[in-house]
Structure 1
């Protein structure tokens, strides 16, 4: 069968399609026929060697995928051939607190950008019938990160206000989850077209951060000077200072990305004086994934898929991710 591999190359993105063999599933494992995968910004960092603890040599990339079980190993009782499943981002994180010894798919071990893969059952969840494989493949990283940031760690309540930055996968999932709970959403972008599309999805307030560089002040204006209950910061050092200003007294800020310019000195004083809770989010556990799928099923929440590339056009999918013009998720049909 075929798989794509990232080949170490400091000068350019080097993806190669190769023939591989994976054998049969062992005890507690299943063999999956992959039907779709999806990309995250993190996959670009893995491909160019910017992330720590990345497997060297020919790594099969991507942490997010969905497929159908075609064979099971000894002792497997909770899955059967034919089951539709998605894999976990963290192969070993079942529940409870995160352990830094957990293994991330598509970085320290091979990911799912292959026609078939073998995984332990603990790394899988069954997917609802109403989701396509491409939609389900968008869930393991971006959707679960948004869910954890809002519902598990963020403890969002109906009627509260969320600020989410940008219109990538995490932010759009955050918009959908927050609205399903009855919260208000303020979303930012540099594109008025993308903001209009977010408005059609239910966003209550739209802020163009190019036209309004001090978007934190705009958040305060929109909330009558109170600020947001939860802020999802996808930028990191380049946006965190304004996120601190945009949060209300006793507010929560979940830091889920480092995409913006890191060359900033950030004052910690708002954390102290506003009694803010600032916490990093590392995707989520299998239990959280199951909770998320239950909410998605109750409200028939469907992921926003911007583009779907053919498996043989995988390098084009990576280029599309690099240009950052997408609204929602970029998927690959295997």
Structure 2
């Protein structure tokens, strides 16, 4: 194996021109508890786009290798590693220090692609605690979608111990982003019923093909929260995966059931809404509103067992980029996210 590799870094915070490719970066040396991963797949998230633009609200290190999501094979292990061996297929954990339970001040600062070097490189070294075995039913491209979007959806549905998703529950998802599609698949596998929102007939058909029981076009039905509640017989949905932020929260509150959970995982509709709800709205609707920042390794391993048991296949974009084309991949992803943001704010 060569001593050098191809590696992208974030050299600034002014845009995609700050993504720099180094053709002769050093392959990291291993500590006694480290695992060297040869990456075969990576995926981008909205978070990766805003890190390069200087809009990320959490910890970020100058010169970091970007992208949290990566899947590959174990190339070598340190002498005290016991969880993995050479040849194992693995996936990166988003927050390297978040092994179980709640986030703490330290684990929230250990984000791959933020403070820890990410997957846009040929080789990466990680503490053995910061990796999980890839589900056996997935290929590397599919496995590389799990770290952020997959685990966030799982945490949204199962992360609150007192109100985990149960068979027969109703789930409301928004749009056709990665988290929302994973949520549809996980909910259906658990025997729940899914109401999804979208903006077009084509996307509605896609959501139905993934298992959605009902799809509401939010451009045609601006009061979709009440419509969703009516579809449940007036009881309301038990789980909302809230990706729009303030611009959609009012409708999510209209849809929620008593003691239901709204998991806020993003703000694709912008930071300001026309009618921003207040904290009292949680009281008036007798529900729980929680913020979700991906999830723990324990949750990741639980999710992977469910993926294997139900043969769940992540939805992967038809266009696949080479490592050298990462900047182009950012540009394409940014265009798609801008379109989603504009549609969700109309």
Residue from 209, 221, 240 that aligns with 1:200: 209
Deviation of the 1:207 alpha carbon: 0.9
Aligned to 1:34: 39
242, 246, 262: which one aligns with 1:233: 242
Give 1:72's match in structure 2, choosing from 74, 77, 86. Answer: 77
- For residues 15 and 135 of structure 1, the distance between their equivalents in structure 2, rounded to whole angstroms, comes to 24
Of 223, 228, 241, the residue aligned with 1:214 is: 223
User: Of residues 246, 255, 272 in structure 1, which corresponds to 2:255?
Assistant: 246
For the Cα contact (< 8 Å) 1:241–1:267, is it kept in 2?
A: no
3-state SS of paired residue (2:251): helix
Partner SS state of residue 113, structure 2 = coil
Out of 7, 14, 18, which is 2:11 matched to?
7
Conserved in 2, the CA contact under 8 Å of 1:245 and 1:270?
no
Q: For structure 2, list consecutive stretches of 5 or more residues without a partner in the other structure.
A: 339-346
Give the structure 2 partner of residue 310 of structure 1.
Answer: 322
- The aligned counterpart of 1:130 is 137
Output the CA distance in 2 between the equivalents of 1:93 and 1:45.
22
Contact 1:93/1:285, CA 8 A, preserved across alignment: yes
In structure 1, the residue matched to 2:291 is 280
Question: Does the CA-based 8 Å contact 1:217-1:246 persist in structure 2?
Answer: yes
RMSD: 1.6
Q: How does 1:1-334 map to 2 (within 5 A)?
A: 1-10=5-14, 13-18=17-22, 19-102=24-107, 103-153=110-160, 154-264=163-273, 265-306=276-317, 307-324=319-336
Farther off after superposition, 217-226 or 153-162? 217-226
In structure 2, C-alpha distance between the alignment counterparts of 1:279 and 1:118, rounded to whole Å: 33
CA distance in structure 2 between the partners assigned to 1:13 and 1:220 by the alignment: 46
How far residue 113 of structure 1 moved from its aligned partner, in angstroms, is: 0.8
Structure 1 residues 16 and 267: CA distance shift in structure 2, 3 A: same
Alpha-carbon distance, 1:54 to partner: 4.2
TM-score computed with the length of structure 2 as normaliser: 0.90
Distance between the aligned counterparts of 2:296 and 2:41, measured in 1? 21
Q: CA deviation at 1:271?
A: 1.2
**3-state SS, counterpart of residue 38 of structure 2:** strand
| Distance in 1 of aligned mates of 2:103 and 2:205 | 37
Cα deviation for residue 7 of structure 1 reads 2.1
- In 1, Cα distance between equivalents of 2:168 and 2:196: 16
| Structure 2: distance between partners of 1:208 and 1:13 | 37
Rounded Cα–Cα distance in structure 2 between residues aligned with 1:197 and 1:271: 32
Shift of 1:180: 0.2
* Residue 53 of structure 1, CA deviation: 4.5
TM-score, normalised via structure 1 length: 0.93
- Relative distance call for 1:325 and 1:61 in structure 2 (3 A) is closer
Cα deviation, residue 268, structure 1 = 3.2
Deviation at 1:288, TM superposition (A): 0.5
Summarize the Cα distance change of 1:282–1:23 in structure 2 as closer, same or farther, 3 Å threshold: closer
